[in-house]
Amino acid sequence: MTRPLKIIVIGAGICGLSSAIWLRRAGHEVTLIDRDHPGAGASYGNAGLLARWAVVPVNTPDLPKTALKYLLNRKSPLFLQWSAVPQMTPWLWRFLRNASARRLPHMVEGIAQIVTDTVEQHRALTRGTRAADRIAESDFNFVYNSRAEYEAGAREWGIRAEFDQVPELIEGPAVQEIEPMLASDCGFIARLRDHGHILDPGAYMADLAEVLTEEGGRYLQADAQDLVLEGGRVTAVLTDQGALPCDRMVLAAGIWSKPLMAKLGLKIPMIAERGHHLHFKNPSAMPRDPMMIVKGKFGVNPMTSGLRCAGTVELGDTSKGPNRAALQIIGEHVARVFPALEYDGVEEWLGFRPSTPDSVPLIGEIGTTGAYAAFGHQHIGLTAGPKTGRLIAALIDGQPPNMDLSAYDPSRFQRA
């Protein structure tokens, strides 16, 4: 760019914070706005995993069969908010259409491009700042009951192997030698080397907001309510604090991005993937590395503030509170795999992951409006946020990145 641009970034989760920081480093005048404090939503309550391994979409070809099995099992990690089914039906139809062998490689590639270098991207974002100490490098363990359970996931492991995610296999008593906390019936681990995790996601977001302001950006707690368009381009964001003129705008408000996208003429098929966590305070023991408990489909992360166990998928909307059954299932699995765990208290949390029908986020300019999408990351928001922000900054700064961004086209659902 020949001159600094005035840019408004809406949404102070990891995607918005990363976009704002990289744009400020490119020399632009950046204001980041959010109706709450930084990282108040899914960027706070996630599992804190930098999931290089998360290249497999939720809607694999076997989804229709496995989803039915899960929905018929009260103890499964998958829930459907039945009251929301009528409004979700168009999304569910598209989601199931993408669950095909033909579509799988396209979804995998779209996800892999933004997750496989996650640790490096977080390091680049935070290098030399207060936020760098929130990042820990670690191995990652997939915990199974048996080798047969591991082998049942051959399709997923085959996809991960395409991206050099080949596990070390550990079996029998050696499992408890590696992770003494695990119950004796946890008999198999698939270990991936060279991963990472965030030690306190909430504090990490707060630190990133401080980094932005220290580097010359601005943070404003305000509710974005409308947009001003002149000649088809965004020229201002209207908030409860007044109008904010801009040359460019970045929309990174997760599930809350939908209403503003509609004002830009795009109807985005996106629903809330409602996720829950239990955060155990002052636990009697901590695992040596983060892990995924495969049978319960939840992540486990040893954090500075306690032990976080996050997972379950509930498809629905944002109108209802926590699902007690989902929280109970996480608790039951925690008691099963960590039978000796004691703790002083537990925090319960519900958050809303923005989920698209093809499991791939929206990244890029919305037509020629000067507005850019940076949302729709489902359960990989923390993992892919820094790279998403870097891509957005490059596009706005007139330096298109050396990678194919067509998979993330915000207008792709208008053509489907």
Find the helix or strand (DSSP H, E) in which 165 lies. none
* pLDDT tens per residue, range 353-410: 999 999 999 999 999 999 999 999 999 999 999 999 999 999 999 998 889 999 999 9
Per-domain residue ranges of the chain: 6-43+203-269+359-415, 56-100+138-195+270-355
Structure tokens at 256: 């809350």
pTM for the full predicted model: 0.95
State the alpha helices, DSSP H only, in 41-103: 42-45, 63-71, 85-97
Strands (E), 317-379: 345-355, 362-365, 371-375
What is the DSSP secondary structure assignment for residue 298, as one 8-state letter? E
CB 169 within 8 A of CB 189: yes
CB 278 within 8 A of CB 334: yes
248 closest CA partner among 3, 37, 35: 3
* pLDDT tens per residue, range 87-103: 999 999 999 999 999 99
Contacting residues for 404 by C-beta, under 8 A, at least 6 apart: 113
pLDDT in tens, the chain (416 residues): 568 999 999 999 999 999 999 999 999 999 999 999 998 888 899 999 999 999 999 889 988 778 777 766 777 778 888 888 899 999 999 999 999 999 999 999 999 999 999 999 999 999 999 999 999 999 999 999 999 999 999 999 999 999 999 999 999 999 999 999 999 999 999 999 999 999 999 999 999 999 999 999 999 999 999 999 999 999 999 999 999 999 999 999 999 999 999 989 888 899 999 999 999 999 999 999 999 999 989 999 999 999 999 988 888 888 889 999 999 999 999 999 999 999 999 999 999 999 999 999 999 999 999 999 999 999 999 999 999 999 999 999 999 888 999 999 999 998 65
C-alpha 35: how far from chain center:
20
Q: Would you say domain 56-100+138-195+270-355 falls under CATH 3.30.9.10?
A: yes
**Superfamily name and number for 6-43+203-269+359-415:** FAD/NAD(P)-binding domain (3.50.50.60)
CB 24 within 8 A of CB 274: no
Find the helix or strand (DSSP H, E) in which 105 lies. helix 104-115
CB 382 within 8 A of CB 359: no
The owner of tokens 């990042």 is 135
